[in-house]
Structure 1
Amino acid sequence: MSKLNPYEEGVEAKGAAVLSFINGVPAPFRDKARTVLASHGIEDIEPDSWYSQQSYLNAFEHVVEEMGDATLQEIAKSTPENAEWPPDVETPAEALDSIDDAYHMNHRGGDIGYYEVEEHDDRTVIMECKTPYPCDYDKALVKRTAELFSDEVIQLTEVGDQCRADGGEQCRYEVTW
């Protein structure tokens, strides 16, 4: 994994989002997750407090190095599972369209990037993700969000001509159900 950096210095992540990092790992490894966060200066996490996004991103790198991509994906899946959704969100397309709002509610202090639904029809969404988080995190987050609002199998395919993992600025995914 390449070095993860915020788009601007001073960006912060809300404690509620940071707690999903802990809740996303299997119970026997939660103390390890807390230790990883603490090793990057994130301790005594409160849901309404704010923490350095750079420290948070460093913890993501640490998890991938020590616990692997599967753990990263579990953390990503727990994020929408633990999120509070607006009552009017009922479909996968509506849920995917609301990811950016939630992302901006949980980050502050400068350019944080975005999650954007570029186009959609009744069963397909093209989603562009430009965030400093790992691509595998975004893929799992997007797919799990759609799954929470559908009884059908969700397919996610990378469709862009660039990928952040390969030095691109954003990733594009086609999500179908």
Structure 2
Amino acid sequence: MRTFEAASQAVEVNGETVLAIVSGLPFGPAQALRVLAAHGIRDPQPGQWFRQQAWLDAFREIAATLGPNTLYAIGRKIPDQARFPAPITSLHRALAAIDEAYRLNHRGGPIGAYRFEADGPGRALLVCDNPYPSDFDRGIITAMAERHRPAGADVRVTLDPARPTRKQGGDSCTFVVTWEA
């Protein structure tokens, strides 16, 4: 999927997820709410639904003005804000749950996916085929991996350099998640 472009104008994202921008922007909630309002999202609350394209337009503005580190910070807030399935009892389950959560927090048409693949001991892949920026996805994956890693394990999340990335015009990104105690 193309970054910042909803697959359908009918796709919506819930208020819980939208609020990740409010909590993830470094300059505070008032400015975050102004950015959202400029794109038609006013006073987001849990339980409300908003056009995904409006949210993606806010992301595009944030990417252009604040850069990839801010997108990453917003992604790290998603597990705090969005609905996730329970229970999550392992790192593999946490990474697979990202796609399930994505489906709980979006509706109305094709949204893409986060495809989890176990890739040996201490290694997994996540293929992100969705309209969100790569640094945002990396933030989500990193937050989930850190929260659910085995005790004492160090976790690393990197783009797979052997596969296409949205940063280089691809339709998806593949992240490699590794961990070891």
Q: TM-score, normalised by structure 2?
A: 0.89
Equivalent in the alignment of 1:130: 129
Letter in 1 for 2:173: C
The number of aligned residues is 175
Q: Secondary structure at the match of 1:147?
A: helix
Equivalent in the alignment of 1:166: 168
Alpha-carbon distance between aligned partners in 1 of 2:145 and 2:41, rounded to the nearest angstrom = 30
* Change in 2 beyond 3 A, CA 1:61/1:23: same
Alpha-carbon distance between aligned partners in 1 of 2:114 and 2:130, rounded to the nearest angstrom = 8
Runs of 5+ consecutive residues of structure 1 not aligned to the other structure: none
Alpha-carbon shift at residue 111 of structure 1 (Å): 0.6
Q: Contact conserved, 2:142 with 2:156, CA < 8 A, in 1?
A: yes
Alpha-carbon shift at residue 40 of structure 1 (Å): 0.3
Q: Contact conserved, 2:83 with 2:105, CA < 8 A, in 1?
A: no
Q: Secondary structure at the match of 1:154?
A: strand
Equivalent in the alignment of 1:5: 5
* Change in 2 beyond 3 A, CA 1:10/1:113: same
Q: Secondary structure at the match of 1:102?
A: helix
Aligned pairs for 1:26-175 within 5 A: 26=26, 28-83=27-82, 85-150=84-149, 151-159=152-160, 160-175=162-177
Q: Contact conserved, 2:159 with 2:174, CA < 8 A, in 1?
A: yes
1:110-138, Cα deviation, whole Å (9 max, x unpaired): 11000011233341111111010001111
Alpha-carbon distance between aligned partners in 1 of 2:3 and 2:139, rounded to the nearest angstrom = 20
Seq. identity, %: 34
Alpha-carbon shift at residue 3 of structure 1 (Å): 6.1
Runs of 5+ consecutive residues of structure 2 not aligned to the other structure: none
Q: Secondary structure at the match of 1:10?
A: coil
* Change in 2 beyond 3 A, CA 1:117/1:9: same
* Structural RMSD (CA): 1.7
Q: Contact conserved, 1:93 with 1:120, CA < 8 A, in 2?
A: no
Alpha-carbon distance between aligned partners in 1 of 2:59 and 2:121, rounded to the nearest angstrom = 34
Q: TM-score, normalised by structure 1?
A: 0.91
Q: Contact conserved, 1:13 with 1:53, CA < 8 A, in 2?
A: yes
Alpha-carbon shift at residue 54 of structure 1 (Å): 0.6
